[in-house]
Structure 1
């Protein structure tokens, strides 16, 4: 199998372990010193905390859930190190369709060791695109007005030097 096929198989094994509710098998997909950031920003350091937290989840609120995921890309940054971009979501037992608002993007660092590929870092974030308002929109004008008012009142952080000088014409 190619490296990409092995990484894909590891990703599939991770999803299968989750769906089986097997926290130990899920944790074995990760290195002993892994960094794991969940969608809510919590960070677990090391395989054993990942196993412990997922065991609690699999026996509790995520009982009989399935992890559904798809690799979007694998980029090898050096020999034995790859960045995996994937999407995924948890399908709870009472659902038949993945809820769009629960879709996450995963950035995963995979490393090849003596025993094959494992994940050494993963960061999960909800996919909720934000469309910033245009600079002349009412929300943007309000934000600028709040900045100017807070500065006049001496509140908040000081203006960045390059912005302050560019507004006043000073150098």
Structure 2
């Protein structure tokens, strides 16, 4: 019986991972089309979206409005790089996803996804740019602490 339960859990995990990858592909495609409404549809109605510069969007509607304007302006004809580094199912309806952005932009993203009505949606998103000087200072501070 335990082996049968493990098999079921693995199948569910594979189905969830496939659905999560599909969600992120839809996110990528909406960005490529410059479609702010389709981009925002990947998010839960109430969601947190924190940009690399600290802007905090708090709903699908706000996300749609802001991205629609950005896609008409500074983000027109840009691309979104979504290199999945990890997908961790925290429960049957919550997942944690880490992605890396383009090599040129050097950024990392953290997503918290929720499964509602059988569909995965992004509940929380945070984009963090790698700051080379900050990384060097942190490494230096860690080496100093390790010497003590």
Normalising by structure 1, what TM-score? Answer: 0.69
The equivalent of 1:117 in structure 2 is: 120
SS in 2 for 1:2: helix
Which one has the bigger helix percentage? 2
From 35, 52, 75, the counterpart of 1:39: 52
The equivalent of 1:127 in structure 2 is: 130
Q: Which consecutive residues of structure 1, in runs of 5 or more, have no partner in the other structure?
A: 90-97, 137-171
RMSD across aligned positions (CA):
1.6
Q: Which consecutive residues of structure 2, in runs of 5 or more, have no partner in the other structure?
A: 1-13
Distance 2:144 2:19 in 1: 47
Deviation at 1:104, TM superposition (A): 1.4
Instruction: Give the number of the structure whose alpha-carbon radius of gyration is greater.
Output: 1
Deviation at 1:29, TM superposition (A): 0.2
Write out the 4+ residue segments of structure 1 that deviate beyond 6 Å after TM superposition.
Answer: none
Distance 1:112 1:59 in 2: 31
The equivalent of 1:7 in structure 2 is: 20
Aligned residues: 126
Normalising by structure 2, what TM-score? Answer: 0.80
From 103, 106, 115, the counterpart of 1:103: 106
Deviation at 1:66, TM superposition (A): 1.1
